[in-house]
Amino acid sequence: MVPRMNTIQTFIPLQVFDLLDGSSTDDPAKNYLASQLNYKPAPSWSDTSDHNMLRYNKASRNVHNYFNAVYVDDHASVQNECTYVIRFLRENAINDTMIGTTSLNVIVSREGSVISPLRANLHAAPFGSSAGQYYGATEAVSTHLNVSANRVNEPPEYGIINRLLSMEPMPDFEDGVSNAFSEGIEYVVKEFGNDGVGALEERLVATDDLSCVAEALRTLGLMDDVKTAERRFRTLVMLLKHRSPIVRDAAAIGLAYLDDQRAIPAINEAIETEPLSFLRSDMEAIREQLAHR
Amino acid sequence: VPYLLRKIRRSKWFATLDWLSPNELQADALGDIRTQNNELSVWLVPDDKSNVAEVVAALSLSADQVSIVEYALIGLDIVSEKGFEVAENPGQTPFTAANHWHRDLVKLSVGKVVELCELVKQAQKERCRDREALNYMAQALGSGAVDVSKISGKLQQSLTKKGVLHNPPATAR
């Protein structure tokens, strides 16, 4: 049962799993943790009376201990990977289930350390502040460490996509050069198939970060994955009608990469409604390319 | 008049966004002219643009995916008039025969970068489609003037799959 949840102040995104068996309520058969570097099963203990519900074992570099717990004032190294694992011991709060993506108010220091969530929340220091700038905190952890209720049971692909869209720093996008963002998009599609593309489409429609949308669409067109080609095609066609020329341009490029002649009617329609002459010309060139593939 | 070619992403230079004032540029455009050591990599293109295919091949062979290549062509005369210093530094791309076309705009200050933004904004911008880029890469590879070991492993795989590269070296960078 999930009790009342507070708003979370986000600095870096984290993903929460059941560390006992790595399972999810959505997909109990899948062990999300087994693929983590150095993963070892967590000890089967849960001290729900423990106020320091995030305890950090400095001595161990095992994933399950990495963020299993963080004591106030302790620093933990941060790896660049998207996934961080946290063990919530309060079964009464989250019932030890795998929770899609949530965010904790954790700050990353210049040296790449995670400051305890409690301190991060209290001082709200900006990303990139040095560890020495944090001061004493007295509030109870439980008032700060909450999980957004509407994220419970959200499929994991949404969490990964959210993290990709909030990546800091966002890489520079250059055609022909893959980057952490585009590789993440590719991972989501290959790992979650059509569901991954669907989740991506949902998020891309909702976000205002047009350069990310454009990069994602180019990636959807460029990637090599037969199983999802049809679904990716539909997403690209849909976003040909986006309000932003940046997105329309990228959707057309994505369709050119897919090299599927079935896109021609949609491109014709886009040409008819495209208000920008240079985009119309580009789309005409793409139509020409598809017609003579 | 010869040109200096700079690889860009054209959509970063779109000035038609609803929130953008007329004559303004998206800040994302700065990502296309990111300097390193106060220098910016460009390519010399003669006025008849006869080497664009080579330059596109050089740029494409330095990437890791076969993709479109978008670029701006800035008149060399304007660059000179504005007081930019151009250094003849050979490129480091796998396409060794094209590397002599490479130049660097050097000693760039913030003010110069802002001026450069304006030049790119006004410049002719073109797109080479992925299929053309692939053809140019194939021609370059066929010429024997490509150091295949300098091509990324990912691109080697892609070129091999597309039948453009045969017998890639075992070790890729």
Task: Output the pLDDT for position A89.
Answer: 27
Please name the residue that has the structure tokens 């017609």.
Answer: A291
Residue contact A175–B67, C-beta within 8 A: yes
Whether residue B127 contacts residue A282, with contact meaning beta carbons closer than 8 Å, is answered with: yes
Task: Output the pLDDT for position B143.
Answer: 96
Distance of CA B79 to the CA centre of its chain: 17
Partners of residue B59 in chain A, C-beta under 8 Å:
176
Residue contact B11–A214, C-beta within 8 A: yes
- If one compares A69 and A193, the residue with the highest pLDDT of the two is A193
Partners of residue B63 in chain A, C-beta under 8 Å:
174-177
Task: Output the pLDDT for position A121.
Answer: 27
CA–CA separation, A142 and A121 (whole Å): 12
Task: Output the pLDDT for position A29.
Answer: 52
Partners of residue A212 in chain B, C-beta under 8 Å:
none
Partners of residue A173 in chain B, C-beta under 8 Å:
9, 31
Beta bridge partners of A102: A14
pLDDT band, very low/low/confident/very high, at B22 (cuts 50, 70, 90):
confident
**Closest chain A residue by Cα to residue B65:** A176
pLDDT tens by residue, A47-62: 333 333 333 333 333 3
Task: Output the pLDDT for position B23.
Answer: 85
Residue contact B65–A222, C-beta within 8 A: yes
Among B77, B95, B99, which residue's Cα sits nearest to residue B86? B77
Chain A residues with a Cβ under 8 Å from any Cβ in chain B: 172-178, 211, 214, 218, 222, 244-246, 249-250, 253, 256-257, 276, 282, 285, 289
Whether residue A51 contacts residue A74, with contact meaning beta carbons closer than 8 Å, is answered with: no
Partners of residue B68 in chain A, C-beta under 8 Å:
175-176, 253, 256
Whether residue A181 contacts residue A150, with contact meaning beta carbons closer than 8 Å, is answered with: no
Q: What percent of chain B has pLDDT over 90?
A: 90
Which of B67, B128, B136 has the highest number of chain A CBs within 10 A, making it the mutation to test binding with A? B67
Chain B (14-33) residues lying within 8 Å, Cβ to Cβ, of chain A: 14, 16-17, 28, 31
Partners of residue B129 in chain A, C-beta under 8 Å:
256, 285, 289
Task: Report, as an integer, the average pLDDT of A12-22.
Answer: 40
Task: Output the pLDDT for position A65.
Answer: 30
Partners of residue A285 in chain B, C-beta under 8 Å:
127, 129
Whether residue A129 contacts residue A110, with contact meaning beta carbons closer than 8 Å, is answered with: yes
Q: What percent of chain A has pLDDT over 90?
A: 41
- If one compares B82 and A82, the residue with the highest pLDDT of the two is B82
pLDDT band, very low/low/confident/very high, at A153 (cuts 50, 70, 90):
low
- φ and ψ of A291, to 5 deg: -70, -25
Beta bridge partners of B41: B104
In this predicted structure, the answer to whether residue A100 has a pLDDT above a threshold of 70 is: no
**Residue A168: CB atoms within 10 Å:** 10
B9 in A contact zone (CB under 8 Å):
yes
Burial of B55 (C-beta count, 10 Å sphere; 0-12/13-18/19+): buried
B66 in A contact zone (CB under 8 Å):
yes
CA–CA separation, B157 and B126 (whole Å): 28
Task: Output the pLDDT for position B16.
Answer: 81
Residue A194, token pair as written in the block: 């059509």
pLDDT tens by residue, A217-255: 999 999 999 999 999 999 999 999 999 999 999 999 999
Say what the ipTM of the complex is: 0.93
- Fill in the DSSP letter of residue A26: S
The whole-angstrom distance between B11's CA and the closest CA on chain A is: 6
Mean residue pLDDT of chain A comes to 62
Whether residue A89 contacts residue A46, with contact meaning beta carbons closer than 8 Å, is answered with: yes
Residue contact A173–B31, C-beta within 8 A: yes
Q: What percent of chain A has pLDDT over 70?
A: 47
Task: Output the pLDDT for position B170.
Answer: 59
pLDDT band, very low/low/confident/very high, at A284 (cuts 50, 70, 90):
very high
Partners of residue B133 in chain A, C-beta under 8 Å:
176
For chain A, the distance separating the N- and C-terminal CA atoms, rounded to the nearest angstrom, is 56
pLDDT tens by residue, B26-69: 999 999 999 999 999 999 999 999 999 999 999 999 999 999 99
Residue contact B64–A177, C-beta within 8 A: yes
Which of A175, A248, A290 has the highest number of chain B CBs within 10 A, making it the mutation to test binding with B? A175
Please name the residue that has the structure tokens 């005409």.
Answer: A284
